[in-house]
Amino acid sequence: MNPNDVVAIYTQLQNLSIEIWVDGGWSVDALLGKQLRPHKDLDIAVRWKDVPKLREALTAQGYKQVREDSRWNFVVADDKGREIDVHAFVYDDKGNIVDGIMYPAESLTGNGTIDDQPVKCISPKFMVEFLAPYISKWPEKYVPAVFALCKKFGIELPREYQKFKKSK
């Protein structure tokens, strides 16, 4: 998945009035305004009410479901190997997330850019928090990302990352 792919998908969904928030590695890159590493997929958060329209739009572009981790989380891929990891949630009438992937509502307030395209994404503080548990599994992916986010946004480095401070 390259920046052009991400911008094209984001723009297409935006034009269909499907609001998405970029999550995962592309959210990190959007917040930083530059790509730190290659990404196999695009993680997105979307309202559950928009999932049928999202599926229809992606199916029309050749995406097929390849995995379903739960009703709220599924992955689609096309024949070029591009994947979109969808995380769906339900808002109540007060703007609280009450079902699905339980994003803290404040986490869906980030803004960034991918290839100069403004995108909604996970907020910096929450992006750092969301990555912290994965340090032991993928330090090569997440140490540079977390250090860069903390530096740019003045966020205190999480305890899990302190041991990497001397080697940076």
Annotate 91-141 with three-state secondary structure: ECCCCCEEEECCCCHHHHHEEEEECCEEEEECCHHHHHHHHHHHCCCCHHH
CA distance 79 to 63: 8
Q: Is the pLDDT of residue 168 over 50?
A: no
Task: Read off the pLDDT of residues 137-154 as tens digits, 9 standing for 90 and up.
Answer: 878 888 999 999 999 999
pLDDT at 10 (0 to 100): 98
Find the length of the chain: 168
Task: Read off the pLDDT of residues 114-128 as tens digits, 9 standing for 90 and up.
Answer: 999 999 999 999 999
In the chain, domain spans: 3-122, 124-168
Task: Tell me if 111 sits within 8 A of 118, measured CB to CB.
Answer: yes
Average model confidence (pLDDT) for the chain? 94
β-bridge mates for residue 108, sequence order: none
DSSP 8-state code for residue 134: G
Q: Enter the pTM of the model.
A: 0.93
Task: Read off the pLDDT of residues 13-46 as tens digits, 9 standing for 90 and up.
Answer: 999 999 999 999 999 999 999 999 999 999 999 9
β-bridge mates for residue 117, sequence order: 114
| Helices then strands, each counted (H, E), the chain | 5, 8
3-122 to CATH, choices 3.40.50.10070, 3.30.750.24, 3.30.70.20, 3.30.460.40 = 3.30.460.40
Closest by CA position to 123, among listed 142, 110, 141, 112:
110
- Crossing angle of helices 124-131 and 24-32, rounded to 10°: 140
Q: Is the pLDDT of residue 104 over 60?
A: yes
DSSP 8-state code for residue 163: G
